[in-house]
Chain A
Amino acid sequence: MEVLNHWEYWMLLGFMGLGTLLMLTASLGVLRMTNALARMHAAGLGSSLGILLLLLATGYYFQFMGNHEKGSLLLMVALGFLLLVTNPIATTAMSRAVMRSSPDNDRQYLALDEYAVGKRLTVPVPSEPNTMIYVDRRGWDSSKWETYDRDVIPLWVADMDFRSPDPIIKALQVRAAHGIFGYGATEEAVGEWFCTHLLERYDWHVTPDQLVFLPGLVSGLNLVVRAIGRPGSGVMTHEPVYPPFLVAPGLQDRKLQSVPMPHDHNGGLLHFRLDMERFRAVADDSTALFLLCNPHNPTGRSLARHELLELAEFCLNRSIVICSDEIHCDLMHEGRRHLPIASLEPEIADSTITLMAPSKTYNMPGLGCSVAVVPNPALRTLVQQAAMGIVPHVNVMGYAAALAAYSHADCRTWLEELLRTLTANRDYMEQALLAAFPGVRTTRPEGTYLSWVDFGAVVENPYRFFLNHARVALSEGSRYHTTGGHTWARINLGTSQSLLEEAVARMQAAVAQHQGS
């Protein structure tokens, strides 16, 4: 009868101990990992290795203890074989099942480390989104969320964190399933539906042949600047304004004639307007184009009929072509109706190029589909010639999404819901800013989901200060001006209210610490 030595006992114990500990790690993995695939990985590896070690130890033990029956070693080998074959098969079957039945955000599995345990996530994931569906965009291809560090709350570039309406998503899925992504034709249906949209919403009669589809608003802006006038011509605009307005004239060899927008304030609330006197003073014989932004980015102003008429009269008298960026036209608060400047009078329409897009409204700027409305055939030819060979067509996915956006009634219902959410966010931010930062002044946007805030009473450069000390990324005020503007910042309200609350809390804490020190 063979009996084991002490060291053999300790060796066996070591094997068994290690095996059981691996079982424990497998269980901990299954319990602590955050999704089924990660859990499966832990369970599969831990249990396979663990059972292997246990089998080795027990096999050795019974072989040399001498009390094994003839068949037991065979059984042992059979068991080992069984486990080592079945475990991988079971794991494969499970992973297939998990991949097929997991929720549609499959890509989160590509960034497992970001999702493990939750400790590394310092920006909270809102648990109670507004009525809109908030989507966690981290780890996706988002400029807004990937530009700054992971702990920064991004309230800068103007897109929203809300899921687009279902008909658009469905249309893209159907288009993708077609499987052919060859050269697209301009879809007439998109133009027809877009014209119906303009008629229904703005009482503006436009025909599909007056539309020029473009892959983006900024390229459209540059295109118009290039198309109108000649090198050295004056391009007039108002500031603060969306930065490409100030950059485009220089890029296209034109002369920028920018006029500041004066503002009144009532308590902490700002109201911007156009300065017609200054426009008249600054305009000269070279002025060929007026770049208008309405609803205005970043102040959220929606210009009233009399303001638009006065501006149009000024431009028509001097034969200045108007280029009106109305990309935020559908995003109006409290049932206010947007007035396209070209819809006011036929003569105005005749010298106006209006830029619009479904991108802000339905949160799809990444699909690159915009449209220029150019009723005047001569102007339209100029724009088309300037685009020729340089500006690509709208891509097939952009058309598919735009068609769904304008043709589905569900999208309009979605938009109503979105507007309620945005108005609530706007009101929240106004109250929170005025309560948290005495002396700070903010706009109450009539349209857009952007707040334009003067933090001058609190910090000198809010963009840099809040980015460094509060880890909140706002849009830098100086970029909206030709000179100065450092005390201003633009805040993007198109996200969940709880994220806005967190941002304000962080900003308030940073200012308190700054003033305390």
Chain B
Amino acid sequence: METVYAPFQTGVQLCLLIIAVSMVLTVIRLVRGPETPDRTVSFDLLAVQAVAAVLVVSVLLGRSDIYDVAIVTAVLGFLGTVLLSRFLEGDG
């Protein structure tokens, strides 16, 4: 394992931290709602942010094989959002 430029490593860690903070903020909206559409929007954002977190972690660990995780997360997030939206439409 070759050494990675140290400031880069720190910077990437900082990125992970920012994404973590963002996810916390999104979760606040997810909990607060107040309506189902608001929760759907924040859920969708949360799924994309999870993919982003996986990407950053892959750089941090130097392992590209965890992309599978990202793809599964993205697909599940997408399906979830579309299903929820369809449900809401039927409801309205």
Residues in chain A within 8 A of chain B (CB atoms)? 1, 3-4, 6, 9-10, 12-13, 16-17, 19-21, 23-24, 26-28, 30-31, 36, 39-40, 43, 46-48, 50-51, 54-55, 57-58, 61-62, 65, 67-69, 72, 75-76, 78-79, 82-83, 86-87, 89-91, 93-94, 96-98, 100-102
Contacts and interface: CB of A to CB of B under 8 A. Distances in A.
Given A51-B48, A101-B91, A101-B92, A21 B25 contact: no
Contacts of B15: 16-17, 19-20
Contacts of A23: 18-19, 22, 48-49, 52
Interface in B37-92: 37-38, 40-42, 44-45, 48-49, 51-52, 55-56, 58-59, 62, 64-65, 67-68, 70-71, 74-75, 77-78, 81-82, 84-86, 88-89, 91-92
B68 A75 contact: yes
B74 A97 contact: no
A4 B52 contact: no
Contacts, number: 183
23 contacts: A9-B7, A13-B11, A21-B18, A23-B49, A24-B19, A27-B23, A27-B26, A27-B29, A30-B25, A43-B41, A43-B42, A50-B52, A54-B56, A90-B81, A90-B82, A94-B40, A94-B81, A96-B85, A97-B40, A98-B37, A98-B40, A100-B92, A101-B92
Contacts of B70: 79
Contacts of B91: 101
A97 B88 contact: yes
Contact of B52 (A12, A19, A28, A91): A19
Contacts of A4: 5
Contact of B41 (A12, A30, A82): A30
A26 B64 contact: no
B54 to A, nearest CB: 9
B48 to A, nearest CB: 4
A65 B75 CA distance: 28
A87 B44 CA distance: 9
A34 to B, nearest CB: 10
Contact of A27 (B49, B84, B92): B49
Interface of B: 2, 5, 7-8, 11-12, 14-16, 18-19, 21-23, 25-26, 28-29, 35-38, 40-42, 44-45, 48-49, 51-52, 55-56, 58-59, 62, 64-65, 67-68, 70-71, 74-75, 77-78, 81-82, 84-86, 88-89, 91-92
Given A93-B82, A94-B85, A31 B65 contact: no
- Which 7 pairs, one residue from A and one from B, show the smallest C-beta to C-beta distance? A100-B92, A93-B85, A97-B88, A72-B64, A101-B92, A27-B25, A36-B37
Contacts of B55: 51, 54-55, 58
Nearest to B68: A75
A16 B64 contact: no
Nearest to A76: B67
